[in-house]
Amino acid sequence: MTLLRLESVSRRFPVGSSILGSRKYLAAVDGVSLNVEAGQTTGIVGESGCGKSTTGRIALGLDSPDSGRVLFQGSLLPRIGSKEWRSQRRQMQLVFQDTLGALDRRMTVDALIAEPLEIHAVGDAASRRQRVWELLQAVGLGDDQHMLYPHQLSGGQRQRVVLARALAPKPSLLVCDEPVSALDVSVQAQIINLLVDLQRELGLGILFISHDLRIVRHVSDRIVVMYLGRVVEQGRADVIIDHPAHPYTQALVSAMPRLPGGFDQYVPLSGEPPSATDRPSGCPFNSRCPVAQDICRQSLPELLPLDSKREVACHRVRDR
């Protein structure tokens, strides 16, 4: 069952002043379509500034798209701030990267976890206390941690608190925006394992946003590769990683340090992503693409099915 569906969603932000001449716009998200199935994970991967976090915010209704539609469980997201939106927010929760910023540092762990239950008026006081204990157990926080404040916890423990808060109102969708990027490798593994376990137990649909393809590959059923606001390739995770079709996906896959092997399959990719304000005409990737031709500089390639398992936006993909 499709839990969340984005249909050619676009969002642009004005940059600079409008007094002198024409106003410039930054196309943060440009015609993105994706699905999150119930109980499955869709991963969004891309470099900084590719619009992956904005896509996550739009998926949650925290930002409204300029065009396109967001469907949650088959119906349109209600207007932001409306009563319907508030009640639907229980179903969809966000997990942040910056855990110290996401947690009120004057509240103890159990007060932090109880807060979303109080906001959504779930049960009575006794049942809420019970639920807080269940959540502490579920995310692996012990008896000695529930009275601590955020600054007394390690980064990994704080991420567990953020997870417990997100899970408190029993959501069906979790949007995780770089949830482990600030953590050590060993703590990353703890949180990733926890997320995988919780998904299996609770049947959560997850939209997992990260710049680290190794982690996205590990957790995702489907992968969406974004570049400068556009989807360049999406499809089944194993197909995308094992047989990437778009030159950018190929570069991303090759830039993962292998263990063992290092960068032995590295395909050099020149330069860095251009700023989203001056996106090259035609295919956004053409300035860095090793196989770009005239057509790539002239027209924007559409996202078209390559085979039954994925879609690719590249003029050259069928030539090779």
Partner 1 sequence: MLNKSYKNSASLALLPAHGVPPSCANPAIKIADLTVAFGGVPVLHGVDLIVGKGEAVGVVGESGCGKSVTWRAVLDLLPRSAEVSGEAWLGDFDLVGARSSVLDRVRGGRIAMIFQDPAGALNPVHRIGAQIAEALRLHRGLTGPAARAETRRLLDQVGIADAASRVNAYPHELSGGQNQRVMIAIALAGRPELLVADEPTTALDATVQAQILLLLKKIQQDTGMALVMISHDLAAVAAICDRVCVMYAGRIVEAGSTHTLLTAPEHPYTRDLIGAIPPSCGPRIRLTAIAGAPPQRHLPPGCAYSPRCRDAVAACAVARPQARQVSAGHSVHCLKAAAER
Q: Residues interacting with partner 1, by CB under 8 A? A: 47-48, 154, 156, 184-190, 192-193, 196, 211-215, 217-218, 241-242, 251-264, 266, 268-269, 271-273
Nearer to partner 1 (CB atom), residue 9 or residue 251 = 251
Nearer to partner 1 (CB atom), residue 67 or residue 154 = 154
Nearer to partner 1 (CB atom), residue 53 or residue 188 = 188
Question: Do residues 169 and 115 make contact, with C-beta atoms less than 8 angstroms apart?
Answer: no
Nearer to partner 1 (CB atom), residue 46 or residue 65 = 46
Q: What are phi and psi of 224, to 5 degrees?
A: -115, 120
CA pair distance 311, 235, nearest whole angstrom: 6
Alpha-carbon torsion angle 101, 159, 5, 34, nearest 10: 90
CA pair distance 306, 308, nearest whole angstrom: 7
Question: Shortest Cβ distance from residue 30 to partner 1 (Å)?
Answer: 19
Question: Shortest Cβ distance from residue 130 to partner 1 (Å)?
Answer: 26
**CA separation, residue 304 to residues 12, 69, 233, 243, 254 (Å):** 23, 20, 9, 16, 23
Question: Shortest Cβ distance from residue 253 to partner 1 (Å)?
Answer: 8
Question: Shortest Cβ distance from residue 287 to partner 1 (Å)?
Answer: 12
Nearer to partner 1 (CB atom), residue 199 or residue 254 = 254
CA pair distance 88, 300, nearest whole angstrom: 36
Nearer to partner 1 (CB atom), residue 91 or residue 190 = 190
Question: Shortest Cβ distance from residue 316 to partner 1 (Å)?
Answer: 19
75-76 and 92-95: which strand pairing?
unpaired
Count of CB atoms situated within 10 Å of the CB of 166: 25
125-138 helix and 109-119 helix, angle to the nearest 10 degrees: 120
Question: Shortest Cβ distance from residue 46 to partner 1 (Å)?
Answer: 9
